[in-house]
Structure 1
């Protein structure tokens, strides 16, 4: 009976470790949320909230972005420089897009990484880890 009790305790003690081992691993990501869009003085001010979950600080992150109008036509290509992004700490960045109203924009595409500097990070890390979302009517893709 003691052996059976010992064996049961041993099996139960091993279960949590096995459950953790079989749990899916989360991938590193750079969450970029379009949090707001406001037209002011014939410019569209885009507000982004960025959280760096790539595992190390980013000294500079620059993305080539494409802005599309409501009809799906390319409005312009531009670079958004998100600057320094500390690990696991949200940051807010704003970009004013001149001669454009926010109501005229339909979609923003993060076309590719231009710069991803910091530690051992590469531009590829910032591209594959990009997780764009939007809280506005403007769709954001990556």
Structure 2
């Protein structure tokens, strides 16, 4: 097969992705900022519901590790509801620990995830995390 046909076949296959394949579904959580406040550290998260159903309750049980990598505490971040295809910003203050004293956050599990119907949505599958701050975020 000539090279031009191979390239054309490859491009045709790449363009034939379904919308579900082109955009990953699920929740994406970004730690966007970590700012010192008088009582400790203010964490700013951006939550995006890429393609799943609207959710009325999302909570993430998260472990906080100090600058030396030692476990400090668990926090249940209650993110609330989010519509399908929507994004939201939520802030939480960690009292008694400075931002410079936090090395990483580790989402241990989805502690609550409820859709607009009575069926619980599956938030854990497809949860993607990232960090734009000096503190790493893992799942």
Specify the TM-score bucket, using the shorter chain as the normaliser: 0.7 to 0.9
More helix by percentage: 1
Picking from 83, 87, 108, the partner of 1:86 is 83
Moved over 6 A (4+): none
| Structure 2: stretches of 5+ with no match in the other structure | 1-7
Give SS of 1:87's match.
coil
Flag the 1:135–1:100 CA change in 2: closer, same or farther, 3 A. same
TM-score using structure 2 length: 0.81
TM-superposition CA deviations, 1:18-76 (whole Å, max 9, x none)? 95158982431211010100111131100001101242101000110000011110110
Flag the 1:28–1:102 CA change in 2: closer, same or farther, 3 A. same
**Hey, what's the Cα distance between the residues in 2 that align with 1:78 and 1:65?**
5
1:41 aligns with 2:38: yes
Picking from 16, 20, 34, the partner of 2:16 is 20
Aligned residues: CA RMSD: 2.5
Picking from 63, 68, 73, the partner of 1:66 is 63
**Hey, what's the Cα distance between the residues in 2 that align with 1:136 and 1:17?**
37
Partner of 1:138 in structure 2? 135
1:107 aligns with 2:127: no
1:117 aligns with 2:114: yes
